[in-house]
Structure 1
């Protein structure tokens, strides 16, 4: 009788013997078949169980180290944790079921002691297995996130090594030969570490469009969504229409009360097309913020005219100086009159609606419009003069005038 209370008879079953190896192999094959898990994941495990049943010996550190390595290997192979645990439990009960045929237990006490030893060995082995599996899974997730971030960074930057980009994109299911578009989402309160919005959004896009070629990542405080513009089937499916609205709605539902602004670039083929779509989406987001748009979703197509204004800043500065600078002579400065013009143009030149938006009386709006005409010589009600005023107001917002000096603002935004 061993110290643990489990008998160890001379000449009893020894897992090193060929007959016992065949017995353990048969158990392993049956357990692997039932659990649909690789047979090699049971290496050393059944031996330590048999030793525990026969001698009461607890698993050694070197044996548990092997089990720990098997847990890591199972995680790397992508085998579900439940399946691996099921494999170990299935092997354990099969071995215990067959044990009386191998070891001639004499009485109830020896059976009880053997059972305790086996259960303890099973518990220690599975604890080590699961812990190792979880650690390996976390490492794999971090590695995949790092690879994803690097891939997204290089795609958005337009890495010139196209063949290498195609190879790196393949594990993520991206076919860079197809047209893709980029959408950006900016939360009003900023993104923090561990934010769950990215994972939710990726699942939503996959469920909504049923397409594997979706990549969601974070970059510089933004959610970046890379999505194909057509389905992989022969019949193309355009997804550009409404993508921004769908993304915005999903984000708002994910956490009620959180404000988001979403911008979408146009779809282009190839890796360079992804970088181009990203630049469009980023510029649309920036312009919407500078123009103080109240709409939560902006499309690069709708921002083309504003991009023209930004890229010819010398001309827009001249226009502001010629048309709007006289507004600084008004009591209270130019800002109230600029806001009145913005509201007036945004509401289709309807003074009553502009007054409601500004939370002032209609009389105040009409007075300000008259003042604008007097100071600038441009009548907001005249179609020809209204156009110049509208473009000048947009340019002023882009250059953040009058809060910033025109020369300084032009240099800062060039």
Structure 2
């Protein structure tokens, strides 16, 4: 079926086929760029060339039809290649321009002190309601190709609505602004990152939902802080929620208190043979596995008896045992504090 295309394109194609000089062909790609700018499909552009070639061939003397047909086909081949080159180059340039504008808008949107007046008109274009509630998702995506980021953006927009998500790649970080109250975006984002990146090379953090422009920057800061804490604490969970990590800023807020807790509760472990680290690792894995000795032994690649022995040694040295409900919380908090401080190897700033 013939594609629909404007008369100006057919006329321009007909003129091209009448002129086959090298100088002219060097300028032919401009027609392809014009077609792309007019939002015509590449199929419609090629169809216009074919129609012009057919009309030109039909107008030739039947006696010379064969000779003229070969010449027209040769010219058509050159012209089509040049036109499509201009078409695709223009489309790539336009896509790059749109992505640059989108990235700049997101940068301004998430700035610490955004200018509402400057953002208002641009926000309408992306369906962002500046006074509404939004959640910001930050994903560490080292090695994610830009094309994959565009694909993720398209998938999220198709599933949740173009006005409900806004995704862009900034350095090695994928930022997604989500309309407040919208569920399922982190899981969908994780699913697509899993298809584009190897396991362990990406991690997603979800900030809390806040209102207004200032809330966007706050939600982004929370998401990034969650990724930072995951690095310091060794959390490998693919999707982190800032709301689940609120205890850690509380711990860090009173540095002297957490330092005192760590050294008082865990300090005696430094006197054990081999130092404190094996016992800290055992406690950390035990808490991650909700007190399951068998799972802890499997993850540490030791026997269950070895886990029991280490816990008994911890009890003997510190006076605390994770099997005691009143002591479990203190031990767990001290272990997390040790991770935050980099204890016993040193103190993280």
The question of 1:348 aligning with 2:310 is answered no
2:117 aligns with 163
What displacement does 1:124 show? 3.1
1:143 aligns with 97
1:31 aligns with none
Aligned counterpart in structure 1 of residue 217 of structure 2, from 259, 262, 275: 275
1:134 aligns with 88
**Could you tell me whether the CA contact under 8 Å between 1:191 and 1:222 is conserved in 2?**
no
The question of 1:208 aligning with 2:159 is answered yes
2:240 aligns with 298
Provide the C-alpha distance between the structure 2 equivalents of 1:343 and 1:258, rounded to a whole number of angstroms.
18
**Could you tell me whether the CA contact under 8 Å between 1:180 and 1:226 is conserved in 2?**
yes
Change (3 A) 1:173 1:71: farther
What displacement does 1:288 show? 1.8
Change (3 A) 1:169 1:365: same
1:92 aligns with 53
1:58 aligns with 20
1:388 aligns with 330
What displacement does 1:331 show? 1.0
**Could you tell me whether the CA contact under 8 Å between 2:204 and 2:238 is conserved in 1?**
yes
1:15 aligns with none
**Could you tell me whether the CA contact under 8 Å between 1:252 and 1:258 is conserved in 2?**
no
What displacement does 1:133 show? 1.2
The question of 1:402 aligning with 2:329 is answered no
What displacement does 1:345 show? 2.5
Question: How big is each residue's C-alpha offset from its partner over 1:112-164, in whole Å with a ceiling of 9 and x where there is no partner?
Answer: 34334433443333222111112212222222222222222222324521222
1:197 aligns with 148
2:169 aligns with 218
**Could you tell me whether the CA contact under 8 Å between 1:252 and 1:259 is conserved in 2?**
no
Provide the C-alpha distance between the structure 1 equivalents of 2:107 and 2:282, rounded to a whole number of angstroms.
42
Aligned counterpart in structure 1 of residue 278 of structure 2, from 327, 332, 336: 336
1:40 aligns with 8
The question of 1:310 aligning with 2:252 is answered yes
**Could you tell me whether the CA contact under 8 Å between 1:182 and 1:265 is conserved in 2?**
yes
Provide the C-alpha distance between the structure 1 equivalents of 2:217 and 2:49, rounded to a whole number of angstroms.
49
**Could you tell me whether the CA contact under 8 Å between 1:159 and 1:165 is conserved in 2?**
no
What displacement does 1:332 show? 0.8
Change (3 A) 1:250 1:378: same
> Which secondary structure does the structure 2 equivalent of 1:320 belong to?
helix
Change (3 A) 1:197 1:69: closer
What displacement does 1:384 show? 3.0
**Could you tell me whether the CA contact under 8 Å between 2:25 and 2:82 is conserved in 1?**
no
Provide the C-alpha distance between the structure 1 equivalents of 2:78 and 2:257, rounded to a whole number of angstroms.
76
Provide the C-alpha distance between the structure 1 equivalents of 2:132 and 2:21, rounded to a whole number of angstroms.
55
1:182 aligns with 136
Provide the C-alpha distance between the structure 2 equivalents of 1:296 and 1:48, rounded to a whole number of angstroms.
56
The question of 1:70 aligning with 2:70 is answered no
Which has the greater radius of gyration?
1
Provide the C-alpha distance between the structure 1 equivalents of 2:112 and 2:237, rounded to a whole number of angstroms.
30
Aligned counterpart in structure 1 of residue 44 of structure 2, from 62, 83, 92: 83
Q: 5+ unaligned residues in a row in structure 1: which ranges?
A: 1-33, 230-237
Provide the C-alpha distance between the structure 2 equivalents of 1:342 and 1:60, rounded to a whole number of angstroms.
73
What displacement does 1:61 show? 2.5
**Could you tell me whether the CA contact under 8 Å between 2:134 and 2:216 is conserved in 1?**
yes
Provide the C-alpha distance between the structure 2 equivalents of 1:378 and 1:63, rounded to a whole number of angstroms.
84
Count of paired positions: 348
1:17 aligns with none
Provide the C-alpha distance between the structure 2 equivalents of 1:201 and 1:333, rounded to a whole number of angstroms.
47
**Could you tell me whether the CA contact under 8 Å between 1:75 and 1:133 is conserved in 2?**
yes
What displacement does 1:74 show? 2.0
What displacement does 1:80 show? 1.6
> Which secondary structure does the structure 1 equivalent of 2:110 belong to?
helix
What displacement does 1:387 show? 2.1
**Could you tell me whether the CA contact under 8 Å between 2:57 and 2:68 is conserved in 1?**
no
